Structure 1
């Protein structure tokens, strides 16, 4: 899997919405209860229960989205000792939860630093040009639509799942789909892990096309959201919706600048 680090495709205007989304995701992560353990590496049972209760309240859960009802018991954030030893206390929910609104809040939640930083890296690199093409308000609406489509797409294929689904991956996948449609020939600097990290400059259609193929391949058997796994189905759904929404804008999209200078990690030679 290649790691993108920069694209050669300057934007005409400041991507304020992309900046705001990145900042919002980071702030929500830092203030998420129970995340201290993921940052310092010393999280205990109390932090785990606190985090689980927070996610059950604010994350999107397929069963709740499709059945539109809360479970009888949810974690309270407290710890206790039961017949099987220490664990998290569960009780009837003491709050009202809107499943539809939980899709939005779940888009700003992440399960760890790698999850957060990976998503923000892709959003930072590819979001500015999509925002530049759509405009600030349309881009924000586009981002939300892709996120909702990704979450409900996952829920429809995993209707019996009670595990919380979190992350901005589905919405960002929509941004990647739009970028591929609008700027397929834009050059992207990537790092390829081959003994060492080898820098290459590849067309966007190669980088993002490979990313989508891998997500589609993994989704065939791993489209789940349990801890330690990835909701690949949501990535595929978000990417497809983003590409479809961006398709009508292709004719009027200015092409990226022609590649100059270094190519595939080396300085390109002049033709003379």
Structure 2
């Protein structure tokens, strides 16, 4: 099931959402145009490699300087491949504008970054010896999804079901779609912990960390008064 759009109205132009998406897309394209060796080094330098902070001697031997945990932030703007980027941007496009509407531009940006930082920290905490970069906006977006889950539970999410390439479209409540998303993240995160040898290529703990952070914090960022609808010219 692929989300296409939602039915919750947005009364502002979500400049921060669009800006964050643009940064992620521009950085990804620039990385694709960069020679492989340089791109590889940049991913390791600015992606969050958990073992880099768990075992500093590993970082020294690998040639990574002390960045004072900067990669916990910079990793939010890097993506591993086109599919990774596309999925994150679709979720950002559908759900983030409404949250920015309710919070305002500045508070939304702070909320987004705090959720992302907490998500990355939780991934490091649960997988401290991982020696590959953790990248992507998924953790921060998970915080946005948490806010949407509580603020727009009955809004309809329009999904495309790719069954034999037929144009099958279904409408489901946001609380059902996002609830299922949370269950999947929790299942896969617990599976990666309980069963040794399971290949993990998704930062499930970052997703859950972002969602939990968003659940706890979103009330602190909501504006008291709703915005007026934008005027189209």
TM-score normalized by structure 2?
0.86
Q: How does 1:73-152 map to 2 (within 5 A)?
A: 73-74=61-62, 92-93=63-64, 96-152=65-121
- Is contact 1:181-1:247 (8 Å) kept? no
CA–CA distance in structure 1, aligned partners of residues 120 and 147 of structure 2: 18
Which of 29, 40, 51 is residue 39 of structure 2 equivalent to? 51
1:192 offset after TM fit, Å?
2.2
Match for residue 230 of structure 2?
none
CA–CA distance in structure 1, aligned partners of residues 66 and 150 of structure 2: 37
Match for residue 257 of structure 1?
none
Match for residue 267 of structure 1?
none
Over residues 105-143 of structure 1, what are the superposed CA-to-partner deviations in whole Å (9 max), with x where a residue is unaligned? 110000110000110000010000000111111100000
Which of 199, 214, 229 is residue 169 of structure 2 equivalent to? 199
Q: 1:248 to 1:108 in 2, by over 3 A?
A: closer
Give the stretch that moved more between structures: 142-151 or 154-163: 154-163
Q: Secondary structure in 1 aligned to 2:78?
A: coil
- Is contact 2:78-2:136 (8 Å) kept? yes
CA–CA distance in structure 1, aligned partners of residues 179 and 222 of structure 2: 17
* Greater helix share, structure number: 2
- Is contact 1:70-1:97 (8 Å) kept? no
Unaligned 5+ segments in structure 1 are 38-45, 75-91, 255-272
Q: Who wins on radius of gyration, i.e. which is larger?
A: 1
* Greater strand share, structure number: 1
Q: Secondary structure in 2 aligned to 1:191?
A: strand
- Is contact 1:181-1:250 (8 Å) kept? no
Q: Secondary structure in 2 aligned to 1:11?
A: coil
Match for residue 213 of structure 1?
183
Match for residue 165 of structure 1?
134
Q: Secondary structure in 2 aligned to 1:164?
A: coil
Q: 1:160 to 1:104 in 2, by over 3 A?
A: same
CA–CA distance in structure 2, aligned partners of residues 59 and 168 of structure 1: 11
Match for residue 145 of structure 2?
176
- Relative contact order, CA 8 A, sep 6+: which one is greater? 2
Q: 1:156 to 1:199 in 2, by over 3 A?
A: same
Unaligned 5+ segments in structure 2 are 227-233
Q: Does 1:238 align with 2:207?
A: no
Q: Does 1:71 align with 2:59?
A: yes
Aligned residues: 221
Q: CA RMSD in A?
A: 2.5
Q: 1:57 to 1:214 in 2, by over 3 A?
A: same
